[in-house]
Every structure is written in C-alpha cells, then in structure tokens.
Amino acid sequence: MITFTFPENDVGELLLQEELEISEKDFRIQRSKTQEQGKEEGDISLLLTRKNRVAVRKPKSENLVAYLLEQKQDISPHIEKDIKAGYDFFHVAIICSFLPDPTCKFTWARLTVKMQFAPKEDDLLVQGKPLVCDLFPIEINSEVRMQRTFKISGGLSYEFIEFKPESETKSEFIIYQPEIFAVGREGSTFSWDFKESVQKSIYGDKVLFAIIKKPKDSQVVGQFEIDAQVKIKEGFIGIPPFVKRKKDAVNILYEIC
C-alpha cells in the first residue's frame, strides 16, 4: 500500500477558465417565450449579463512505480509484469470548479479528459494509447466525507476511507456531494458527470483522481472538454427556467503526466 495525503489548500495553478455563453438559438427561443407571456424584452436581455464560470486546475502527478520500488511495497503480478515491460503508472489529481452567478445554478456538468501521447523531440509518435487504470470518485449518491489521507493498493487502485470523527475539522476531509458518476476505466478517455440533487446544486471545487498507465519516457497530454447546463433560479425577474449550454469549451492540449 502507498499512502498519500491531499492537502486542503493544494489547489494548483489555474489551467483554464471558461465563462458560459448563451447560444443565439437559445436566446431566440427564450425571447419568443418571454414575448408570448407579455414580459418585457429587456428582462431576457438581462440573461446576457450573467457570469457562470467553470475552471480546471493544472493536474498534479506522482510516479507510483518510484514509490513502490523505494518503499519495497508488495506489487500485484500483473502490475509487476507491466513495470518489467517498460510501463510507468502515475497518480493524477485534478480539480474542477464551478462558480455560478448568484441568480443562477448549475444543474448538470461533465468534465471529459481525452488523453494522448505528446510527440517526442524527434517527432516520432509513441505507439498505443495511455490508459486510465482507476478513477475516484466512481459514484456518489449521497454526501460523503472522505479522509484526505488515502491509500493506493499494490494492484494500483484507490482505497479511500470515509471520515467519521467526533469533532469535524475540514482540513482532514474532502466533501463529495451527489450526484457524481465516472466512466472510462481501461480507456484513454475518461469523464465525470455532476448532477444537482434535491438538496444541492453544483458549486465549488471538485477534487478528482486518476491512475494512468503509460510507457516510460513518454509524456501524456490531454484535451479537457467541459459541458455545463445552467438554469436561472426559480422566480428571478419572472422569467421561466432557462437553460444555457456551452459544449467543448476548450480544445487545447495540456500536460497531464
């Protein structure tokens, strides 16, 4: 077992930040509905001033093979075979943040990471694709508090422990609120979906983890794509709930590990 601790204030550099925009089609549809209800057209125009932001922090990575060998940890046979064949395994932490306008709320969002190898200096392409071995969280259906200190097994999978102390100190745990779902294990593309619940909308920092397999001396880069759905809070300026989306907000490759 390898033990890691994710510090409370270790958010990292800002990698990207996007402000959601209302599409022309959605604007026309909502303006038409507003006119049908006898509302002022100026009301719908106010939607254009709403600032709903999504952001991703620069991924932080740790070489797991180095930890395993230095600490003489037990390694699963299939992992040991991969290491002898020339593969590395990295633990990667990603923070995705959601900051809605005070008059709005995020109801759904998806962060997708599409990995590939960066060309080497001689422009030769690395054969194959990087693979994600494990993700955390995989599924969150109710609010949980996980210890910031967690373990990675010799089979290179995450082992988090729920935090249930007598006294609560925020620096000791990470809060995960419903609903969160992850897909993509054993592939080169993975994603997390976030959905609002009856009690909670999507807000603040989301701490996410992945274990990635790659050949030694290769560099993994990724395209971060963000889908998000935002709704005007019920009752604001008398306009019906309005959804605005911006798909594939980012189309740039960033270093992962």
Q: What is the structure's pLDDT at 55?
A: 87
Q: What is the structure's pLDDT at 245?
A: 45
**Is the predicted pLDDT of residue 247 greater than 70, yes or no?**
no
Q: Point out which residues pair with 111 in neighbouring strands.
A: 192, 226
- Summarize the confidence of residues 83-100 as an average pLDDT: 91
Distance of CA 2 to the CA centre of its chain: 23
- The closest of 70, 23, 93 to 244, measured between CA atoms, is 23
**Is the predicted pLDDT of residue 211 greater than 90, yes or no?**
yes
**Is the predicted pLDDT of residue 246 greater than 50, yes or no?**
no
Higher pLDDT, 22 or 187: 187
The enclosing H or E element of 33 equals helix 24-36
- Summarize the confidence of residues 88-105 as an average pLDDT: 89
Q: What is the structure's pLDDT at 6?
A: 78
Report domain extents, the chain: 13-255
End-to-end CA distance of the chain: give it in Å, rounded. 21
Angle at 102 between CA 98 and CA 103, to 5 degrees: 115
Q: Greatest CA span in the chain, whole angstroms?
A: 73
Lowest mean pLDDT across 42-46, 79-83, 189-193: 42-46
Contacts of 197 (CB under 8 A, 6+ apart): 177, 178, 179
98, 18 Cβ separation under 8 angstroms = no
Lowest mean pLDDT across 16-25, 49-58, 176-185: 16-25
Q: What is the structure's pLDDT at 136?
A: 95
Calculated CA dihedral for residues 158, 211, 78, 153, nearest 10 degrees: -20
pTM (two decimals): 0.83
**Sign of CA pseudo-dihedral 208, 212, 217, 223:** negative
